[in-house]
């Protein structure tokens, strides 16, 4: 089971945001004949981290499917810097970009613990399809709430508890037509001014 924790980090795309991290041990079957992790497994590490982030936010891929939504990946990039090896313990940091459109773009860093040596960076981009397979232009309520929870976590305003959303199994079609990606009732929030780690 992957161990989860949060850590503050700075990147160009996320100047002052807290990353969600997942710890993944390198297993024997992931190492190739060169005795390094085969490059294709890095995409799997990103998926494990993304699924852990969504679960901590209270909305799993299975729950999305149960509601009739699919969230296909339409773009991904992985940039390898150094090889991971058998018995390494990897930390995969995940951040969700703040966008004005209904797509999920996540940035990743894969590091070797305990020294946190950077091994790879990556990006995934996903869109949302409704139960009829049509591209959604605004987030449905469950996804909108997930995005809000993750952004609040990244801004240091909340922790991710894994508390699940409660929605009807077959949401009404009008639900997505009336919601914009980042609207809704919001309470007062503190703005973080100090970004030091």
Phi, psi at residue 22, to the nearest 5°?
A: -130, 135
> Would you state the pLDDT for residue 170?
53
The CB density around residue 188, as the number of other CB atoms within 10 Å, is: 4
The per-residue pLDDT for range 148-196, each reduced to its tens digit, is 999 999 999 999 999 887 755 554 443 333 232 333 333 333 333 344 3
**Which residues are 53's β-sheet partners?**
none
Separation between Cα atoms, residue 6 and residue 21, nearest integer Å: 6
Q: 3-178 in CATH: which number?
A: 3.10.129.10
> Would you state the pLDDT for residue 16?
72
**Mean pLDDT calculated for residue range 53-65:** 94
> Would you state the pLDDT for residue 15?
59
- With CA atoms as reference, report the closest residue to 77 among 51, 33, 114, 108: 108
The per-residue pLDDT for range 68-123, each reduced to its tens digit, is 999 999 999 999 999 999 999 999 999 999 999 999 999 999 999 999 999 999 99
> Would you state the pLDDT for residue 127?
97
Distance of CA 59 to the CA centre of its chain: 11
Annotated domain spans of the chain: 3-178
Using the predicted structure, report yes or no on whether residue 14 has a pLDDT greater than 60. no
**Which residues are 126's β-sheet partners?**
73, 104
Phi-psi region of 116 (alpha: psi -120 to 50; beta: other; left: phi over 0): left
Phi, psi at residue 170, to the nearest 5°?
A: -115, 90
Distance of CA 135 to the CA centre of its chain: 20
> Would you state the pLDDT for residue 167?
57
Separation between Cα atoms, residue 188 and residue 42, nearest integer Å: 39
The CB density around residue 147, as the number of other CB atoms within 10 Å, is: 20
Claim: this prediction has a pTM higher than 0.85:
no
Here the tokens at position 113 are 């613990």
Which range (4-18, 51-65, 134-148, 169-183) has the least confidence?
169-183
């Amino acid at each position: 089971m992957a161990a989860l924790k949060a850590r503050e980090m700075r990147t160009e795309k996320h100047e002052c945001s807290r990353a969600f991290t997942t710890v993944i041990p390198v297993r024997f079957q992931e190492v190739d004949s060169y005795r390094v992790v085969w490059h294709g497994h890095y995409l799997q590490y990103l998926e494990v981290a993304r699924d852990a982030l969504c679960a901590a936010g209270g909305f799993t891929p299975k729950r999305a499917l149960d509601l009739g939504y699919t969230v296909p990946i339409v773009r991904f990039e992985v940039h390898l810097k150094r090889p991971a090896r058998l018995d390494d313990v990897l930390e995969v940091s995940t951040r969700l970009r703040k966008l004005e459109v209904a797509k999920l773009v996540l940035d990743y860093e894969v590091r070797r613990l305990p020294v946190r040596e950077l091994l790879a960076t990556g990006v995934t981009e996903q869109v949302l399809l409704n139960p009829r397979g049509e591209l959604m232009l605004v987030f449905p309520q469950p996804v909108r709430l997930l995005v809000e929870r993750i952004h609040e976590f990244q801004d240091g305003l909340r922790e991710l508890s894994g508390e699940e959303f409660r929605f009807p199994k077959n949401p009404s079609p009008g639900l997505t037509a009336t919601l914009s990606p980042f609207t809704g009732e919001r309470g007062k929030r503190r703005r973080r001014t100090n970004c030091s780690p």
